[in-house]
Amino acid sequence: MKIGNIELKSNLLFAPIAGFSDAGFRAICSSFGAGLTCTELVSAKGLCYKNESTRDLLNKVEGESPVAVQLFGSDPEFMYKAAKDERLKPFDIIDINMGCPVKKVFNNGDGSALMKSPELIKEVVKAVKEGGQKPVTVKIRAGIEMGKPLAVECALAAEEGGADAVTVHARYREQFYSGEADHTITRDVKSALSIPVIANGDITDYKSLEMVSEITGADGFMIGRGALGNPMIFSELRGNTVNVLKKPLIYQHIEILRKFYRDETVCNAMKLHLCYYAKNTRVAKAVRKEATSAKTLDDIFRVVEEYFV
């Protein structure tokens, strides 16, 4: 699969997820065959104002490629300036978030609120394309209100603005992350566009991947929650049998994070990840209890040694 001039090593992509799409987990997903990974949400205004916490989201493992940086914002001028920022140079693609349902983001006119105005979508995409001088992708939802799809109109506006691919999270903003994804909407987007379309939502195993592929005819498939604690899914979805011990994987994850962050920050990041690494195992409850109360990285190491093999 190709996005602009960037050749992906597979058509399975790892979704940007707040609190989880750190450089360590992205690198691990990439090693198991994710064709593209993406940073967490990065504020365009935060970049322009040199916000320190924004800078921390832009870490990238040497050799990690291809990887996209996901920007959010709705002001074309700020988006243009952010896309030009030198700190985005290491990233292969700029992805524009037009799907975030969170109230704070939505009420500011960003994220999925952009779907109210296809004309503004076109302007924002054009600004990022001109500023970044690299492939631009857009991530949208089915629409805002249940039963009122906006995806086709918004995707066409993005394509007209110069987008190189569109990802459709086939849920409405009102659904947040609950209920079922309606992949017939992604199918309609695919029929309307000439650029690659990526399907997102409820892809958790080979059976669901086949079903979404059959419904949508999409060019690529984005895995989000199905990859948390299970980065091996990118290999498994390609038909490979994977037998990997979680403990060395977790230590690899921690080692990468320690290159960028203080141990206290790594500890807090790994609390969330450990709960997912243990999900659907007999130790899940114990890990959740121990990990969430961890105060130091040594506490995290003790949890790993006690409960993982």
Q: In the predicted model, what is the mean pLDDT of residues 128-143?
A: 98
Q: In the predicted model, what is the mean pLDDT of residues 65-86?
A: 97
The whole-chain average pLDDT of the chain stands at 96
pLDDT of residue 141: 98
CA distances from 306 to 136, 204, 228 (A): 44, 28, 21
pLDDT in tens, 181-240: 999 999 999 999 999 999 999 999 999 999 999 999 999 999 999 999 999 999 999 989
User: Does residue 119 surpass a pLDDT of 90?
Assistant: yes
pLDDT in tens, 244-289: 999 999 999 999 999 999 999 999 999 999 999 999 999 999 999 9
15 vs 34: CA distance, rounded Å: 10
User: Does residue 145 surpass a pLDDT of 90?
Assistant: yes
Q: What is the pLDDT confidence band of residue 13, given thresholds at 50, 70 and 90? A: very high
Catalytic residue among 29, 38, 48, 100: 100
303 vs 301: CA distance, rounded Å: 5
CA distances from 53 to 43, 265, 282 (A): 10, 12, 36
Q: Is 154 a catalytic residue?
A: no
211 vs 131: CA distance, rounded Å: 38
pLDDT of residue 52: 82
pLDDT of residue 242: 87
Dihedral through CA 154, CA 155, CA 159, CA 162, nearest 10? 70
pLDDT of residue 241: 86
The CB density around residue 62, as the number of other CB atoms within 10 Å, is 8
pLDDT in tens, 17-31: 999 999 999 999 999
pLDDT of residue 50: 87
Q: What is the pLDDT confidence band of residue 53, given thresholds at 50, 70 and 90? A: confident
> Which residues partner with 140 through β-bridges?
98, 168
Pairing state of beta strands 136-143 and 93-98?
parallel
User: Does residue 51 surpass a pLDDT of 90?
Assistant: no
pLDDT of residue 63: 79
Residues in the chain: 309
pLDDT of residue 215: 98
Q: Give the Cα-Cα-Cα angle 204, 289, 179 (nearest 5 degrees).
A: 30
Contacts of 234 (CB under 8 A, 6+ apart): 10, 12, 14, 29, 32, 33, 34, 223, 227
User: Does residue 85 surpass a pLDDT of 90?
Assistant: yes
pLDDT of residue 271: 97
